[in-house]
Amino acid sequence: MCPAHLSANQDRGFIIPIGGGEDRKKERQIHRRFVELSGGPGADIVVIPTASELESTGQDYNRIFRDLGAAEVDFLPISKRADCDNPRYLDMLDRATGIFLTGGNQLRLSTILGGTAIAQRIRKRNAAGATVAGTSAGASIMSEHMIAGGESNSIPAEGAVSLAPGLGLTNAVIIDQHFTQRNRLGRLLAAASYNPFLIGLGIDEDTAAFIGPNGLFEVVGSGTVTVVDASGLTHSSMWEASRGQALSLLGLKVDVMSEGCRYDLVGRQAYPPDPHAAFCALPNLPSEDGPRH
């Protein structure tokens, strides 16, 4: 599943995967920038709390975004697939300038939203310029290939990670969250080794990657984003490994990036913070043949 096609002279909106555990009470830096990119005082934000089974989740995020100055905020109480055909919910997404997917269980999110009109509308709105953010499970589901589960505190091994289809807002990366806190490097390395075309993003708690329409992202938050680029692999034992066997992965490139660092997903190049650069200042758009988000 690839991102929705762009109309002429139209840039996609930002996508913002967040590693979970973000600051919701003090500076709320990540939420604040999400609101700004969604239109600031003119923002119309729709929260989708489907991944969570807590009834308060949607209301909690509504309060945060209202406090930060968004003009309109509401949430979609989607708890079953039939809810995804509700014309009122689709109309709300049609007007949204920002869409926020909460944390919880990514398989709950994918099995309820996958293949529905709501999922299609999220992709179309992002292609039309709306900002889409997601935290924890909401971050994992953004990519075409989603990490559905796997072992933490483990070596990279065959079978260490399970994958499922995601929303397809980006076909350039595969995303893991709560990354350092749950020691998930092994399973991200295993996921990246399945197809070295994908760039692995391991996102810490209270940290986000603000991915612009041309594939350049900036790190925001108190933790790090770990980037795993397997495109230069000189040897991988994945194809011949038995279940649970440790992998050999030679030629990997790993970048660990804190706040202000930027990464070009097309050129596969990391850059240090630039105090003189505008937030997520973006160079030329990538070729249509390159990875898209």
pLDDT for the residue 290? 46
Query: Which residue is catalytic, options 136, 143, 193, 236?
Result: 136
pLDDT for the residue 151? 84
pLDDT for the residue 274? 86
- Please indicate, yes or no, if residue 9 is contained in any of the structural domains: no
The verdict on whether 27 is a catalytic residue reads no
The verdict on whether 178 is a catalytic residue reads yes
- Please indicate, yes or no, if residue 271 is contained in any of the structural domains: no
pLDDT for the residue 190? 93
pLDDT for the residue 280? 53
pLDDT (tens, 9 = 90+) of the chain, 293 residues, equals 456 665 556 789 999 999 999 999 899 999 999 999 999 999 999 999 999 989 899 999 999 999 999 999 999 999 999 999 999 999 999 999 999 999 999 999 999 999 999 999 999 999 999 999 999 999 999 999 999 999 888 899 998 899 999 999 999 999 999 999 999 999 999 999 888 899 999 999 999 999 999 999 999 999 999 999 999 999 999 989 999 999 999 999 999 999 999 999 999 999 999 877 665 544 433 333 445 56
pLDDT for the residue 292? 52
- Please indicate, yes or no, if residue 181 is contained in any of the structural domains: yes
Query: Which residue is catalytic, options 205, 218, 236, 293?
Result: 205
The verdict on whether 293 is a catalytic residue reads no
User: Range of 65's domain?
Assistant: 15-266
Query: Which residue is catalytic, options 178, 218, 236, 293?
Result: 178
> Which CATH number do you get for residue 222?
3.40.50.880
pLDDT for the residue 50? 97
- Please indicate, yes or no, if residue 274 is contained in any of the structural domains: no
- Please indicate, yes or no, if residue 273 is contained in any of the structural domains: no
pLDDT for the residue 1? 46
CA 142 to chain centre: 5
- Please indicate, yes or no, if residue 285 is contained in any of the structural domains: no
- Please indicate, yes or no, if residue 178 is contained in any of the structural domains: yes
- Please indicate, yes or no, if residue 99 is contained in any of the structural domains: yes
Question: How many domains does the chain fold into?
Answer: 1
